[in-house]
Structure 1
Amino acid sequence: MASLQFLSLLLATLISALIVRIISVVVYHRRNRRNSVGFFHPYTNDGGGGERVLWCAVKAIQEESPDLECVIYTGDHDASPKSLAARAIDRFGVKLMHPPKVVHLYKRKWVEETTYPRFTMIGQSLGSVYLSWEALCKFTPLYYFDTSGYAFTYPVARLFGCKVICYTHYPTISLDMLSRVRARSSMYNNDALIAKSVFFSLCKVMYYKLFSQMYGIVGSCAHLAMVNSSWTQSHIQKLWGIPDRIKRVYPPCDTSGLQMLPLERSMEPVKIISVAQFRPEKAHPLQLEAFAAVIKSLDADLPRPKLQFVGSCRNEADDKRVQHLKDRANELKVDGDVEFHKNVTYSELVSLLGGAAAGIHSMTDEHFGICVVEYMAAGAIPIAHNSAGPKMDIVLPEDGKQTGYLAQNVQEYADAILRIIRMPESERLAMAAAARKRASWFSEQKFYEDFKAAVQLVMLNSSR
């Protein structure tokens, strides 16, 4: 009995000491906040639309508030101020006013998918808390800016006295995800084993409900939440419950540079481009199967088209996906008609877009779809998934004219590709011109204007 009392007293003492230590650390860093904006972006080499938003956001802050120092929290240990500034230019054509300061993070493994084979969402979310603690202890800014969607870090940043701003590309959990689990639909984020089981599906629904409640609480800690599309805005408003602090700011798309490309281009062979990171949700296999169906249905007098996969690989898992695609292309007997372009530079991407007659996109519930806008701006007719951002914001009529196609399955994608291949040149040029005009709604300049107007709400009202 005495030993149990001793252990209880020891545990209480340790917990009290830990609480005192946490409070002392927080108080110290709150007093030593810097006049700066800290951008929480652990993966500064992902090469996707999120990274473009990061560099455009840094540039916008440097232009709007030159007195504020911009700091990047990154887990890429080889990143330096000069290398990141050079990367912004080389990969995205974004020229910063001056290189940002870099704070290296060494706990990034706690937000990696591979660390959590099961309960990945909650694991990564709680891991981000630990990672943000490391970040804010190393450097405490006046404004904490999350550009990667780690909402569980917001309470930590507020604890350190920061004003919390975020640019949310997509909700960590959405009502659509919950409905799919209820319907027992198998997808990349709902294992077939769970989808087949009533019991496991019920457990996962309870898990998702609990997580969505937690996500709503932490998300509501943001002083300003910018969202990238109508679809994302709808979900975030329902989940976070802060409609007055949510602003829709369409992501920066390179429409000006791409619009300089000529609409006329060689159609022998027809090139179909697919620009996306090699991630499971991008559904590259569907595109490959649709392309194989096109080859089988192609008129004998037409040259065989080319499918060009263009994207970045973040890690070994992405490299394996590329290899699986190559193996699948070989199985479908289209390997000679499919090209893979990994980790290309910005200039190489522009060149590839300039030669494409069509651009294909197949992610279900793509929150926005920067690549779809890039297709349209470059003069490539888009074939996008009939959901979320592409359906609600992008592939809409312009001056009453069709700007592209929406599809959901292999046959619909194949039919759309065939229509473009068989389309008279005058019709293709008219649709491409309408698509290009539509793309101007999502220009980089429009992003800067809307972004600056939104952040002023927080930066000019620091007493909120």
Structure 2
Amino acid sequence: MGIWFIVPAVVAAFCAVILGLLLRAVGGRKSRKRAVGFFHPYTNDGGGGERVLWCAVRAIQEEIPDLDCLVYTGDHDATPQSLAARAVDRFGVTLLSPVKVVHLYKRKWIEETTYPHFTMIGQSLGSMYLAWEALCKFTPLYYFDTSGYAFTYPLARLFGCKVICYTHYPTISTDMLSRVSQRRLMYNNDASIAKSVWLSRCKLIYYTFFSWLYGIVGSYTHLAMVNSSWTKSHIEKLWGVSPCIKRVYPPCDTSGLQVLPLKRPAEIPVIISVAQFRPEKAHGLQLEAFSVAVKRLDSSLPKPRLQFVGSCRNKSDEERLQMLKDKAIELNVNEQVKFHKNVTYRDLVGLLGAAVAGIHSMTDEHFGISVVEYMAAGAIPIAHNSAGPKMDIVLDEDGEQTGFLACTVEEYADAILRVIGMPETERLTMAAAARRRATRFSEQRFYDDFKDAVRPILSHRSR
């Protein structure tokens, strides 16, 4: 019953926000500045999205040097100098000049903890409020969303901006609707809902309504760049703006990692996992698979080590990291598992260069930058058998296998044991094929495709 009251209330709130901001936005059209404003509220998340941000800034600076670049950020200690230094230290990206910074103070309205229920719609409406703060402080000619806040696009259009986005992951997808309909348990569909027919139906109505809204706001973009074949197919279905959608693979540090030797220390095989400590990354599955593999390991083979490398965005991520440490103790593998939090780019390269394999376990990972990094570094990927890794990355190269795909704990354990037990010549052959395939997703390829995509939009800029 409750959802029937919530739906009209959400519609009313959505309309009220649009109407309430319209007058202010029309005024903002007159004061647009010749700049590209990157809407990226979390400039310290350390993930693939942040790498795209800095590479996108660099690409714009190369393409049109006299066009100012600024970043809207909720990180209050961020400065032009600190962000430029972070781009180099964490991602190896050197900006041609520091970006301007616009600080946002309403970021709590996009925090998932602010909305215990109806999180997606709450965060989406909250993003509009945050974008309103951003655009009132500085109204650019070009509004560039690099974080997936599609509900901000109509607002940016009202302010007179050209809207460009780089979409890593659709906020909602037909896969999510399918999981709720089938009552499958997952991080975004907890047991209390999955076990209840009534609650599942209510959630399905909510998701269907939200996907309709998402399709409307997404259609307000002038250019939508997407990071994979999987994301492209979903965005085309949801937004219905196929001519405006361009697939631009994300920038992966293939050149910097390809100089690493393919040979690895034989004494202790190292398996690396690079991902933010977020629930969808399914680190727990990796620990369980590693534990199973260790128990099944032939006594003649050396015991492997598992190294987690990731960043924490907030308190929830910190708590999740501690739970993983506790789980490692529970599984009795804590002496073979090590956690590295918020490492520098240089340290990450060193860790990748020592790994024989890289593990990834997110279901429907939109692309999988870490998987490409494994391959470029010479670590054989063991990735989830879905979306980006399945459709774009872990495919044969010149008829040779480049890695393994898995879904269950047993399948991951089998793949771990396969890599550890490989003869050195076989491992080197597979690692070399994986490295060749990784060149398809290089940073230079991103720059070329990105510039080709944005050039028609930027070439019509106001003077």
Fold-level match, TM-score > 0.5?
A: yes
Give the Cα–Cα distance (whole angstroms) in 1 for the partners of residues 315 and 19 of structure 2.
42
1:343 aligns with 2:342: yes
Give the Cα–Cα distance (whole angstroms) in 1 for the partners of residues 437 and 460 of structure 2.
35
State the secondary structure of the residue aligned to 2:177: helix
Q: Which runs of 5+ in 2 are unaligned?
A: 1-16
TM superposition shift of 1:460: 1.8
Corresponding residue for 1:159?
A: 158
- Give the conservation status (yes or no) of the 8 Å contact 1:125–1:150: yes
Corresponding residue for 2:79?
A: 80
TM superposition shift of 1:267: 2.2
TM superposition shift of 1:462: 4.7
Cα deviation 1:25-70 (Å, max 9, x = unaligned): 2233211100000000000000000000000000000000111100
Q: Quick one: which amino acid aligns to residue 426 of structure 2? A: E
Q: Quick one: which amino acid aligns to residue 210 of structure 2? A: F
TM-score by length of 2: 0.95
Q: Quick one: which amino acid aligns to residue 195 of structure 1? A: A
Give the Cα–Cα distance (whole angstroms) in 2 for the partners of residues 240 and 23 of structure 1.
23
Corresponding residue for 2:317?
A: 318
Corresponding residue for 1:114?
A: 113
Give the Cα–Cα distance (whole angstroms) in 1 for the partners of residues 188 and 21 of structure 2.
36
Corresponding residue for 1:248?
A: 247
Give the Cα–Cα distance (whole angstroms) in 1 for the partners of residues 378 and 21 of structure 2.
55
- 1:20–1:121 Cα change, 3 Å: closer
Give the Cα–Cα distance (whole angstroms) in 2 for the partners of residues 66 and 406 of structure 1.
43
* Matching of residues 140-289 of structure 1 within 5 Å: 140-289=139-288
State the secondary structure of the residue aligned to 1:268: coil
* Matching of residues 11-90 of structure 1 within 5 Å: 22-90=21-89
- Give the conservation status (yes or no) of the 8 Å contact 1:267–1:357: no
- Give the conservation status (yes or no) of the 8 Å contact 1:395–1:405: yes
State the secondary structure of the residue aligned to 1:221: coil
Q: Quick one: which amino acid aligns to residue 376 of structure 1? A: M
TM superposition shift of 1:265: 1.2
Corresponding residue for 1:418?
A: 417
TM superposition shift of 1:459: 1.3
* Bigger Cα Rg: 1
- 1:108–1:325 Cα change, 3 Å: same
Cα deviation 1:237-259 (Å, max 9, x = unaligned): 00000000000000000000000
Q: How many residues align?
A: 447
State the secondary structure of the residue aligned to 1:144: strand
Give the Cα–Cα distance (whole angstroms) in 2 for the partners of residues 25 and 124 of structure 1.
22
TM superposition shift of 1:264: 0.7
TM superposition shift of 1:268: 1.4
What's the % identity of the aligned pairs? Answer: 74
Give the Cα–Cα distance (whole angstroms) in 2 for the partners of residues 133 and 153 of structure 1.
8
Q: Which runs of 5+ in 1 are unaligned?
A: 1-17
- Give the conservation status (yes or no) of the 8 Å contact 1:113–1:124: yes
Give the Cα–Cα distance (whole angstroms) in 2 for the partners of residues 230 and 202 of structure 1.
30
Cα deviation 1:198-249 (Å, max 9, x = unaligned): 1110001110110000000000000000000000000000000000000000
- 1:240–1:23 Cα change, 3 Å: closer
Give the Cα–Cα distance (whole angstroms) in 1 for the partners of residues 233 and 347 of structure 2.
36
Give the Cα–Cα distance (whole angstroms) in 2 for the partners of residues 330 and 26 of structure 1.
55
TM-score by length of 1: 0.95
TM superposition shift of 1:20: 9.5
State the secondary structure of the residue aligned to 1:383: strand
- 1:22–1:228 Cα change, 3 Å: closer
Q: CA RMSD in A?
A: 1.3
Corresponding residue for 1:4?
A: none
State the secondary structure of the residue aligned to 2:169: coil
Q: Quick one: which amino acid aligns to residue 85 of structure 1? A: A
State the secondary structure of the residue aligned to 1:355: coil
State the secondary structure of the residue aligned to 1:172: coil
Cα deviation 1:305-328 (Å, max 9, x = unaligned): 000000001111111111111111
Q: Quick one: which amino acid aligns to residue 319 of structure 1? A: E
Corresponding residue for 2:441?
A: 442
Corresponding residue for 1:455?
A: 454
Corresponding residue for 2:12?
A: none
